[in-house]
Amino acid sequence: MKPPRFDYLAPSSLDEALGLLDQHRDQAKVLAGGQSLVPLLNFRLARPAYLVDLNEIDGLDEIRMDRGDLVIGAMARQRDVETSSLVRAHCPLLAEAMPQIGHVQIRNRGTLGGSVAHADPASELPAVIAALDGDLVVTSGRGQRVLKPDAFFVSYFTTALDPTELLTSVRLPALPPRTGTAFLEMSRRHGDFALVGVAATVTIDDAGVCTRCALALTGVGPAPVVPREVATSLVGVRPTPDAITEIGQGVSAFVRPESDLHASSDYRTHLAGVLTERALVRCVERTRGAHHDGRP
């Protein structure tokens, strides 16, 4: 299959790219790693008149620390995020999720921002960002706005970005000491999109009592699903096996996934509970000082 005809535009600066988006609006599509967009073009599911390639713009792929937060540019390749020592040290949850995205060849080209902006309901990164309550930095010719995940991810393949805006970076906050994190997913084969995935974080105090717990799931709704009240019910108690089982049951009761070709609603509901429980067990183990850098 070949893509429909389009004009290829390769701006060399962010300002130039934003100017082109402002000029062509919904006639234009942004090209990042092309791992989702090119198949869409080839199957004629997208027919933009202009393709605005971000690959010639310097500085959009930085991975850096800023005031304790990890900041990742939208054009950072997924493989660079996966292998970054900063990411391993400061955001092991992200480091653990990265290798579960497709195959290494896809991650070599695919970008963090492309995956987030594409907003596939089964993708890993939106759930990781939602569990960490990260900031999504959006830039247009009018300036910058910063969105939280629940405002950014709207529905299936739909975000709050308008056609003149680019996602330029993602900011992930530092987690407190004595925090353990885990990302677990179930897919039919390695490299497939997740049937269900869970991103989890647990923080405990010196007495072993949970002071913070966050969960976000992928594959069980049109956008990342955040069972906030279920997760916070662990706060103030010791994360014992019984308490964790209760959270898993609470998550199963909370989610309402749809059935599709790959899995029934009942199976996804079951998986959501089981994976939550396993992820929380890992988080608690990882709060006990064992250094965890995201490697399995």
Selected range binding ligand FAD among 34-42, 222-230, 256-264, 280-288, rule: CB under 6 A: 34-42
What single-letter DSSP state applies at residue 220?
Answer: S
**Token output for 31:** 């090209």
**Token output for 237:** 């108690």
Task: Please name which of 173, 88, 78, 168 lies closest in space to residue 129, comparing C-alpha atoms.
Answer: 173
Q: Binding ligand FAD by CB under 6 A: which of 24, 36, 79, 136?
A: 36
Q: In whole angstroms, give the CA distance from residue 135 to residue 219.
A: 22
Q: Binding ligand FAD by CB under 6 A: which of 17, 18, 30, 199?
A: 30
Please report, as residue ranges, which positions from 71 to 130 form the binding site for ligand FAD (by CB under 6 A).
Answer: 74, 101-102, 106, 110-111, 113-115, 117-118, 120, 123-124
What single-letter DSSP state applies at residue 26?
Answer: G
Element containing residue 92 per DSSP (H, E): helix 92-97
Q: What is the edge-to-edge ordering of all strands in the sheet holding 28-31?
A: 7-9, 50-53, 28-31
Question: Does 33 interact with ligand FAD (rule: CB under 6 A)?
Answer: yes
Q: Whose Cβ is closer to ligand FAD: residue 188's or residue 228's?
A: 188
Q: In whole angstroms, give the CA distance from residue 16 to residue 30.
A: 13
Binding mask 197-236 for ligand FAD (x = CB under 6 A): ----------------------------------------
**Token output for 275:** 């994976």
**How near is the Cβ of 145 to ligand FAD at its closest, in Å?**
13
Q: Whose Cβ is closer to ligand FAD: residue 32's or residue 280's?
A: 32
**Footprint of ligand FAD on this chain (CB under 6 A)?**
29-37, 74, 101-102, 106, 110-111, 113-115, 117-118, 120, 123-124, 161, 166-167, 193
